[in-house]
Amino acid sequence: MRRRRRKWKSAFGWGLAWLAFALVLFGLVDLVGSVLWQGIRSFHFSMLFEPTQGIAGGLENAILGTFELVFIGVVFAAPLGILGGIFTSEFAPPRLAAVIRFVAEVLSGVPSIVIGYFGYLLLVLHFHWGFSALAGGVALTLIMLPYILRTTDTSLQQVPLLQREAAWALGMTRTQAILKTVWRPAASGMATGLLLAIAIGLGETAPLLYTAGWNSNNPSLALTHSQVGYLTYVAYTYLDEPYAQARQLAYAAGFVLLMLILVIQLVVRFVVWRSAARSGRSAA
């Protein structure tokens, strides 16, 4: 009797767990499915080569603007993050390394809208840059930096100490050891982190609302005093418009964005899986 009750309880518990799991999968499939479905119905290839006009037109300006903003973000975030990760893993004494990791984690926990508002106060107002590509790019830098730093640090930590010692024994300085040998096994991990940081940057909206503004023309090369359009803005703003055309543009923007990010994510997973399989470890 008692044993049967315990068996039922066990089945019930696992049943709930499976139910929760099914719910998550259903949510994911429903989300991706409905956004892709609406997106495919509203998307035309001509949208890729046509800037926005009023509430209709294409997405060329937004796509180019997104790439410009992310590019500027990466130009600042990648060197700082990679150098910071190298310092944390290779040079810093354990205490200091723990502090740096902690600070980076805290920075990544700052709400993105606060970063955007900080950009507005400092860059747009105090520095008089206006809503601009540079202000938006710097805001994205703050989002991406802690992420790049952490992944660089983690992948360098996985390189065995033996490799460093071998390099030092040859008379290399620490810098030479890092730049000539230690970075190689860590390279794929660092590249993965960089790609995922780019995916994060592509999908951000909140930091850009207060820094990049909006522009229905293609981005100029001016870094300041010229507003830039970006994809997430289209998806957010045009959905509220009462016109079917505007909503279609919003769906199309969501679609392009989701496709870009899914492609990056899948490529990254594939690369990780390949390198894990090749080195003979079990993939996970």
Partner 1 sequence: MRKVSKVAKAWDRGFRVLAAIGAASPAVFLVSIAAIVLVESIPTIRFMGIHFLTETRWDMGNLYGALTHRNGITAPAGASYGALVFIVGTLLSSIIALVIAVPVSVGTALILAYRVRGPLGFLLNILVELLAGIPSVVIGLWGILVLVPWIANALAPFLKSVLGFIPFFGGQTGTGYSLLASGIVLAMMIVPIITATTRDLLMQVPLLAREGGLGIGMTSWEVVRYIALPYIREGFIGAVALGWGRAMGETMAVLMVSGNATNILPQNLYSPISTMAAFIANQLDSAETDASGMAVHALSELALLLLAITLATNLVARWLVRPRRRGGVVAP
Region 214-273 residues binding partner 1, contact defined as CB under 8 A: 232, 235-236, 239, 250-251, 254, 257-258, 261-262, 265, 269, 273
Q: Which of residues 18-37 bind partner 1 (CB under 8 A)?
A: 18-21, 23-25, 27-28, 30-32, 34-35
Span 182-201, contacts to partner 1 by CB under 8 A: 196, 199-200
Helix axis angle, 133-157 to 112-119, nearest 10° = 130
Q: Give Cβ neighbours of residue 230 (< 8 Å, ≥ 6 apart).
A: 62, 65, 66, 69, 136, 205, 208, 212
Q: Which is nearer to partner 1, 221 or 281 (CB)?
A: 281
Backbone dihedral region of 243: left (phi > 0), alpha (psi from -120 to 50 degrees) or beta? beta
Amino acid at site 23:
L
Segment lying near partner 1 (by CB under 8 A), choices 44-52, 81-89, 180-188, 216-224? 81-89
User: Looking at 145, 190, 194, 252, which residue binds partner 1 (CB under 8 A)?
Assistant: 145
The alpha carbon of 61 is separated from its chain's Cα centroid by a whole number of angstroms, namely 21
Any contact of residue 93 with partner 1 (CB under 8 A)?
no
Least distance in angstroms from the C-beta of 214 to partner 1: 11
Is residue 202 a contact residue for partner 1 (CB under 8 A)? yes
The yes or no reply on residue 160 touching partner 1 (CB under 8 A) is no
In contact, 255 and 235? CB cutoff 8 Å: no
Among 71, 127, 203, 217, binds partner 1 (CB under 8 A): 203
| CA atoms of 199 and 90, how far apart (whole Å) | 27
